[in-house]
Amino acid sequence: MLGTLDRDRYRVIPIGITRDGAFVLEDDDPGKFGLDPAHLPEVVDNGTRIVWPDSTRSRELRVRDAAGERSLGDVDVVFPILHGRFGEDGTVQGFLELLDLPYVGAGLLMSAIGMDKHTTKSILKAAGVPVVPWVTVTRSALERDGELWRRRIRSLGLPAFVKPARAGSSVGVSKVDDWADLDAALDVAFAEDGTVLVEQAVVGREVECGVLEGRDGGAPRVSVAGEIVISGRDFYDFDAKYLGADGIELVCPAELGDGELAEMQRIAARAFEAVGGQGLARVDFFYTGTEFFVNEVNTMPGFTPISMFPKCWIASGMSYDDLLTELIELARAR
């Protein structure tokens, strides 16, 4: 993404966050954070520190290093290209709200909703969006009333998926084909989060579409559908998502009839609005061939040029550049 932002139009100040939570000034080097399976990129502490505006009256970003402190100029828009906890769960969004800096994407609440599978599904269900039946259980409830919860879980039937409420990237997700494996799967999920969902497994296709907030109060815009075609793997796991493991293909546009696509797009727009309707989202579905179920709403979907969200927009006639510009302009307009 860094490589494609139009430099005639935008001046980019790349900021990295270290594991310890330090905001550091990065070099404007698009190659540096490429996803290389053999060597996943990491932000290292280079000794610089970003100094955020000292009140909402200022938009001036500064950097401090061994040589002292200097201005980086005024910020128009922050583009939080972050995944997971502290990145797309509303925390960074709340921080930017306090600074009164415009930012791309969902606000605090929508981000927090999208991060939590139980909350997302509850809201979607209440809005009439079809979701797969599930049971949510906390570690403490399971410890107090193990038999009751196991009974509730077993009533979902096999196979089932067990997943942490807040994780992502398929971390902590397992498929259970035999109830004898349930406890092990719960342990794996509880290692990521104290709240876990168990869900009926859907036999069907995994299809997704991109949604963009409407311009000037207009309806959300929905892209054509993409499909994750899985062959020879149990499901869309971490290795397949990020490490280019075999057996997964992202196909866009997905093979769907016009009626099927229209139905999916209608549900995607409804899901997007139900959780807050801001910025962008990738709405992920399971499609049984007769029914669409929304699996999740990703408020900061993967954004490399080969990721599904941009791919779906490109297939819908919007270039990667135009998409970035649109997101930035939506943030500025808000």
Ligand X SMILES: Nc1ncnc2c1ncn2[C@@H]1O[C@H](COP(=O)(O)OP(=O)(O)O)[C@@H](O)[C@H]1O
Considering only 87, 90, 168, 301, the residue that binds ligand X (CB under 6 A) is: 168
What residues have CB less than 8 Å from 139, skipping those under 6 apart? 190, 194, 195, 196
| Interaction of residue 235 with ligand X, rule CB under 6 A | yes
x/- string (CB under 6 A) for ligand X, residues 114-153?
Answer: ------------------x---------------------
Q: Does 58 bind ligand X (CB under 6 A)?
A: no
Residue of 296, 307, 318, 323 interacting with ligand X (CB under 6 A): 296
* Span near ligand X by CB under 6 A; candidates 142-150, 166-174, 263-271, 299-307: 166-174
Binds ligand X by CB under 6 A, chosen from 43, 81, 188, 202: 202
**Residue type, position 302, single letter:** G
Strand partners, 281: 211
Nearest approach, Cβ of residue 197 and ligand X (Å): 8
Instruction: Name the segment binding ligand X (CB under 6 A); options: 98-106, 119-127, 178-186, 198-206.
Output: 198-206
Candidates 10, 236, 242, 320; binder of ligand X (CB under 6 A) is: 236
d(CA 249, CA 229): 5
Written as six digits, the tokens of 179 are: 């109830």
At its nearest, how many Å lie between ligand X and the CB of residue 55? 37
Applying CB under 6 A, the site for ligand X has a residue count of 18
Nearest approach in angstroms of CB 185 to ligand X is 12
Closer residue to ligand X (CB): 63 or 156? 156
Of 282, 326, 328, 322, the closest CA to residue 301 belongs to 282
163 SS3 class = strand
Question: Which position among 88, 199, 208, 227 is part of the footprint of ligand X (CB under 6 A)?
Answer: 199
Q: To the nearest whole angstrom, how small is the minimum distance from the Cβ of residue 131 to ligand X?
A: 10
Asked if residues 121 and 134 have their Cβ atoms less than 8 Å apart, the reply is yes
* Residues whose CB is less than 8 angstroms from the CB of residue 296 and which lie 6 or more positions away in sequence, other chains included: 114, 117, 120, 283, 284
> Judged by CB under 6 A, which of 169, 215, 291, 319 binds ligand X?
169
**Torsion angles phi and psi, residue 158, rounded to 5:** -105, 155
Taking the C-alpha atoms of residue 13 and residue 259, their distance in angstroms, rounded to an integer, is 44
- What b/e readout covers 114-124, taking b as 16+ CB neighbours within 10 angstroms? bbbbbbbbebb
Q: How far apart are CA 166 and CA 111, in angstroms?
A: 12
251 binds ligand X (CB under 6 A): no
Any contact of residue 301 with ligand X (CB under 6 A)?
Answer: no
* HSE-CB for 301 with a 13 A CA cutoff: 24
Tokens of 305: 């040029």
In the complex with ligand X, which residue's Cβ is closer, 71 or 169?
169
* 161 counts as binding ligand X under rule CB under 6 A: yes
Phi, psi of 232 (to 5 degrees): 75, 15
Select from 89-97, 162-170, 177-185, 256-264 the region that touches ligand X (CB under 6 A).
162-170
CA distance 160 to 153: 9
Length of the chain, please?
334
Q: Name the token pair of 279.
A: 């910025």
Binding range to ligand X, per CB under 6 A, among 196-204, 215-223, 242-250, 322-330:
196-204
Q: Which chain residues interact with ligand X by CB under 6 A?
A: 132, 161, 163, 167-170, 173, 199-202, 206, 235-236, 286, 295-296
